[in-house]
Amino acid sequence: MPTAEKVKAVEEMHALLEERGTLLLVGYRGLSVEDMQTLRSQLQEPGATMRVIKNTLFRLAAKGTACEPVADMLDGPCAIVYDGEAPAAAKALTEFQKKKAALLIHGGVLEGEALDSDGVEALSKVPTREELMSGLVAGLQGPISGLVHALDGITSKLVYALEEIKTQKEEAA
């Protein structure tokens, strides 16, 4: 017979999984408490949250949600990473995995589509929102600054021409 705490935990997890269209699954066996704290702080930068889960409760909560296909990926102690910007969170996980090989990226769900570990790695290579915005600003700024320099060149040439006319008139007088 399930306890009231477990039923409540499954209901909360089910609501969380229905709300979030994107989440990543990681295994943390072999990571120390300090490593977990470091990972959590690195995930906070892109606004992501990491939550340790019980696999059986996750499987129960995932039924009827977009996360149901990835519930079978769980193996050993696992955590979910949700919220924040998905490419930035995936990038933080893959960078942390390079330092600490004990972190296993099982997969995840991106906008309702299941991802395996290779899919999460590919997601980590997608430019983040900030990178896209800076590229857009640079792209828009280029033609505008070119126009400013062109107009500045025209006014400079006009000033030089007027100076030349002034010198010629002074010499003639």
Answer yes or no: do 49 and 109 share one domain.
yes
Adjacent-strand bridge partners of 105: 26
Answer yes or no: do 161 and 110 share one domain.
no
Q: What are the helix (H) ranges across the chain?
A: 4-19, 33-44, 55-62, 86-99, 117-124, 129-172
Report the alpha-carbon distance of residue 55 to residue 136 in Å, rounded.
42
Report the alpha-carbon distance of residue 138 to residue 79 in Å, rounded.
38
Q: Give the domain extent around 141.
A: 129-173
Answer yes or no: do 11 and 53 share one domain.
yes
Cβ atoms within 10 Å, residue 48: 23
Whether 73 and 59 have beta carbons less than 8 Å apart is answered as no
Q: Distance of alpha carbon 165 from its chain centroid, rounded?
A: 60
pLDDT of residue 37: 93
pLDDT of residue 146: 75
**Residue 165 DSSP SS3:** helix
Instruction: Enter the pTM of the model.
Output: 0.69
Answer yes or no: do 141 and 59 share one domain.
no
> Mean pLDDT of residues grouped by 10 in the chain (173 residues)?
81 84 87 91 89 88 83 84 86 91 88 83 80 78 76 78 84 78
User: Could you give the number of structural domains in the chain?
Assistant: 2
| Domain at 28, CATH number | 3.30.70.1730
Which two structure tokens, joined as six digits, stand for 121?
């790695």
Which two structure tokens, joined as six digits, stand for 55?
């696999």
Kindly give the pairing relationship between strand 78-82 and strand 22-27. antiparallel
